[in-house]
Amino acid sequence: MNIQIPRGELLSALQSVIGVVERRQSLPILSNILMVAQEDELVLTATDLELQVERRVQVQNLSPGKTTAPARKLHDICRGLPEGATIGVELNQNRLTMKSGKSRFTLATLDAAEFPSLSAAGSETRLTLTGKELKELLSRTQFAMAQQDVRYYLNGLLLEIRANRVRTVATDGHRLAMAELRRDTGVKKDLQVILPRKTVLELQRLVEADDTEIQLNLSANQVQVDLDGLKLTSKLIEGRFPDYERVIPEGSDKTVHGDRGRVRAALSRAAILSNEKFRGVRLTLSGGTLRIQTQNPEQEEAEEEVEVQYEGAPLEIGFNVGYLLDALDAIEGNEFIMELRSGDASGLVYDAANNANKYVVMPMRL
């Protein structure tokens, strides 16, 4: 292997794949990136055995070859070199040499033949979305995914595809986020798959919010996402996602219409003095007023009042203030609607101009 590549292009390619590389690995080779120089391109691949990202970049290829090199060291060296530099990368026996100007670095390598690869499974369902559509579906729901829950199927995001819509749903058992894209998908059979948390976060990082077409190829246990010059392959979480539609409240008789910015700002201020562990906030609704109250073990208290439109009898209810803020952050419009039934029933929050995306928050006892 002997290639020449602009520093900016190599750094961009490394940044695309390095998110997959864990800092602590059971197998030393998983700390490395597979580098394959062929024809006029360099292919970089990183994997953790569950998720794999492959990026292709144009290079001046003087001699083909392949090897694996330490991912973090490659990235840090490339980032430390000056902008506009050209990097020469050459493999001699089991050493990889990087040269740029008067800088020279020699890295240890591991045999490319030992590098594990996720083999592509046969595609059963194909879905094409734009970058903007996929990024919105992910960003409006991913914050509600569980972290390290024993119910492993909650540590991910449900992707549901039907003939006339695509949905993403996430829940950690205390709140639920659902986003919906209404459009003809071309699929003939309804499909539900659970994308792992790490896969969702990497897609969120890699996908640009533009009109570039992205193809998702789905099989029973794998998803492959083809972006421009980049391919992400991931195993799926096995298991049955909860029946989320049963969780979404219906028939609520109390409705709040509020200015998203004002209510969000008031909640943020009140949250400063909430209990750091439980993050509880008390909401009191009466007439056209929403009273927001928090307190903590140090006997510190905060109170805010915001004008809202409220239909229904006076009501007092407790929520996790962080969950309410996450829901309001995910709403795009200036006005939100919150539907409530009683002090011990879940609340439903959505954009007043678009009810396709919905957020359910369970109440707290305060």
**Fold annotation for 125-245:** DNA Polymerase III; Chain A, domain 2 (3.10.150)
Is this prediction's pTM over 0.75?
yes
- Per-residue pLDDT of the chain (366 residues), as tens digits, is 999 999 999 999 999 999 999 988 889 999 999 999 999 999 999 999 999 999 999 999 889 999 999 999 999 999 999 999 999 999 998 999 999 999 999 999 999 999 999 887 777 899 999 999 999 999 999 999 999 999 999 999 999 999 999 999 999 999 999 999 999 999 989 999 999 999 999 999 999 999 999 999 999 899 999 998 999 999 999 999 999 999 999 989 999 999 999 999 999 999 999 999 999 999 999 989 999 999 999 999 999 999 999 988 999 999 999 999 999 999 999 999 999 999 999 999 999 999 999 999 999 998
CB 42 within 8 A of CB 5: yes
| Residue 79 CB neighbours (<10 A) | 11
CATH of domain 2-114: 3.10.150.10
CB 316 within 8 A of CB 343: yes
CB 224 within 8 A of CB 314: no
Whole-number pLDDT of residue 123: 79
The span from the CA of 365 to the CA of 177, in Å, is 22
**Ramachandran region of residue 12, left (φ > 0), alpha (ψ -120 to 50) or beta?**
alpha
Closest by Cα among 223, 225, 221 to 239? 221
Whole-number pLDDT of residue 121: 73
Same fold for the pair 2-114 and 125-245: yes
The span from the CA of 49 to the CA of 240, in Å, is 22
Q: Return the structure tokens found at 126.
A: 């194909």
Q: Which residues neighbour 89 within 8 Å (Cβ) at sequence distance 6 or greater?
A: 1, 2, 3, 4, 5, 35, 96, 97, 98
Whole-number pLDDT of residue 104: 98
The span from the CA of 230 to the CA of 218, in Å, is 17
Domain ranges of the chain: 2-114, 125-245, 249-361
| Residue 37 CB neighbours (<10 A) | 22
| Residue 174 CB neighbours (<10 A) | 15
Say which residue the tokens 């709403």 belong to: 331
Q: Could you say which DSSP state residue 104 is in?
A: E
Whole-number pLDDT of residue 124: 85
Reported CATH class of domain 249-361: alpha beta
The amino acid that residue 143 corresponds to is F
